[in-house]
């Protein structure tokens, strides 16, 4: 969000130096409008609604005899006082949803594998998969039912590195767990690698409009724009032939 405001302000400043006054104030006005619409809530509410709406209702899942629940990481945090590395607050909903799905799957009598995907993208010394795996074990997930993928540094690599694990396990049903804001991009990347997954949200973001701009709404605007840029980047890379060829015959 900050970069877009800076670009508009800089454009206005440069046009002002050229004495193009009308263009100068036009860009200053755009910057102010963007700041107010983002900071007061209308812009992030509109952007997030289009990202999250498909996942507002959790699907009813019919478990098969072999099932894989793929949990995507949301970062780690280093506790300064004792140097421990733990999942961030943004991962709590995802982990709880993965555990709830695991329990439901086990109660159905099927074979249930929880695949936790995430490397050490925050450079805290512990991979997300390892950190989340410990929490899931404490919640009640059997270690024999867990598979840790600890190399991926982004969503694209999540899909790329999870694919061989799913090929080896050969599940009849794959469930993908992430934040509602993230699922569009995650599903697209997993589908690119031939993984047809049922998407289930671990959390949902609610925007509350305010009269005065606040940092939370600006942060939520950044979050939404990050996802849209990721979706656009994928399309551009496909058009340029920079992505790996899509897989058609992979995990179901």
What is the DSSP track for 4-42?
HHHHHHHHHHHHHHTT-HHHHHHHHHHHHHHHHHHHSSH
- End-to-end CA gap in the chain: 37
Q: Which residues contact 16 (CB under 8 A, 6 or more apart)?
A: 24
Please say whether the dihedral angle defined by the alpha carbons of residues 94, 97, 101 and 107, taken in this order, is positive or negative.
positive
The total of other beta-carbon atoms located within 10 Å of residue 83's CB is 9
> What is the value of pTM for the model shown?
0.90
* Ranges in the chain, pLDDT < 50: 250-252
Distance, in Å, from the CA atom of 85 to the CA atom of 45, rounded to the nearest integer, reads 33
| pLDDT single digits (tens) 167-223 | 999 999 999 999 999 999 999 999 999 999 999 999 999 999 999 999 999 999 999
Residue-level pLDDT at 249: 55
Mean pLDDT over the full length of the chain:
92
**What pLDDT was estimated at residue 13?**
67
What pLDDT, on the 0 to 100 scale, is given for residue 5?
73
């Amino acid at each position: 969000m900050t970069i877009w405001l800076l670009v508009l302000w800089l454009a206005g400043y440069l046009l002002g130096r050229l004495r193009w006054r009308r263009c100068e104030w036009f860009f200053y006005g755009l910057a102010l409008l963007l700041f107010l619409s983002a900071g007061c809530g209308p812009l992030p509410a509109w952007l997030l609604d289009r990202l999250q709406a498909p996942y507002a209702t959790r699907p009813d899942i019919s478990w098969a005899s072999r099932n894989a629940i793929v949990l995507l990481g949301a970062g780690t945090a280093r506790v300064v006082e004792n140097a421990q590395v733990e999942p961030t607050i943004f991962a709590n909903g995802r982990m709880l949803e993965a555990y709830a799905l695991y329990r439901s799957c086990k109660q159905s009598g099927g074979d249930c594998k929880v695949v936790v995907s995430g490397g050490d993208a925050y450079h805290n010394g512990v991979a997300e998969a390892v950190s989340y795996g410990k929490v899931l074990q404490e919640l009640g997930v059997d270690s024999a039912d867990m598979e840790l993928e600890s190399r991926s540094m982004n969503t694209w690599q999540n899909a790329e590195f999870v694919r061989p694990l799913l090929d080896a396990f050969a599940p009849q049903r794959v469930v993908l767990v992430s934040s509602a804001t993230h699922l569009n991009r995650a599903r697209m990347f997993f589908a690119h690698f031939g993984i047809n997954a049922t998407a289930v949200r671990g959390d949902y973001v609610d925007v509350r409009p305010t009269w005065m701009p606040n940092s939370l709404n600006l942060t939520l605007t950044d979050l939404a724009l990050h996802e849209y840029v990721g979706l656009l980047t994928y399309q551009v890379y496909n058009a340029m032939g920079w992505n790996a060829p899509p897989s058609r015959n992979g995990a179901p």
